[in-house]
Amino acid sequence: MSIKWMLKKDPSLASRLEGLKYVRRHEDETRDVTIENCIGFSQVPLGLAGPLKVEGPENTNDVFYAPLATYEPTLVASCSRGCKAFNLSGGIQFEVLEDAMCRAPVFHFADTGKAVAFARRVPELQAQFAKDAESTSRHARLLKLTPHIIGPRVHVRFDYSCADATGQNMTTIATQKACDEFMNSHLAKELQVQGFLVEGQMAADKKSSWGNVIQSPGRGVRVIAWGKITDEACREVLKCSTEELHHSLAIVKDAETRNGQFGSNINVVNVVTAMLIACGQDPACVAEALWSHVTAEYDRETKDLNWTIFIPSLPVGVVGAGTFYGTQKECLELLQCRGPGMKRRLAGLIAAFALALDVSTLSAVTSHGFTSAHERLRRGSRL
């Protein structure tokens, strides 16, 4: 249904839209918007966290600032405080372990025996599937096929390399082409394939999944970041000792286990969400990225606390999605992540700033400053 159709069916809608005072809707801003029935832009406050010293691949060795699109008071200040503590201790490093995007079509058969016969043939189909899939894009490269038999059906996970794009649309189009061509082949008839769906939910697109955590390659960028906090920096900036901070982490991990928490972190998803929105990513991908594992090792001799964050499924890109909108382009430029080859840097910086926030938040709880910070900065105090 278009806006014109809506206005025709409901004449009162025009006056309601005209009454919107705060929705940005200048024609020059919305002309190139790709969503349907666009009525303008919803404005999200944008803060800048940092600076943070970060070292990683792709010639990453600099001081960075993170644009955070958020409604939450204390988020920017807390993240910046964690950055300061890491900077005084040498900064944060990161590495990208894997980078892939997947689609998982499902093929139907008359019985389970025929499904098993097809699954056994999947490895020899990779070359043809790859040829057809890659014909749809200059960037998509089929890396791996993994069959999963469920009754008389076979879900086949197609894992792709997608260059600088996140790749959800790229892999969908590529997989559709590969499956269509296969279904028209003599082999499909020989194997008695009855039909297929381009996605059977084995890819866990925009959903939390243990498969995203443990399968290799994962879905999106798999990244690890680490850095140390010295006892001196911890006391000066975070207002507690590294030993106290380590003890607090042990306490919360016990509670995470008892509560069956999905992942082990303090509030990593705050930075992930804020940076995805600011940088033109699909915020629904937070569902995939919310699992992360934050750990810390305490050195009793030096009193250093060595932190690590592992995020196995971080779907990001520096082209496509909303990266071409003005604000989002500028945020990517602030992060020095615009241009070819910057996708992995973006993932690494998200992980680094997320680690800074986690350390700062846990230290606020440890030093009993968590509540007072929210009292000082809460919205109600300014109303």
* Catalytic positions: 72, 282, 374
* Alpha-carbon gap, residue 227 to 231, rounded angstroms: 13
* Alpha-carbon gap, residue 220 to 212, rounded angstroms: 9
Backbone phi, psi, residue 178, to 5°: -65, -40
* Alpha-carbon gap, residue 44 to 150, rounded angstroms: 44
Output Rg (C-alpha) for the chain, integer angstroms. Answer: 24
Other Cβ atoms within 10 Å of 310 Cβ, number: 20
> Encoding tokens for residue 143?
């890396």
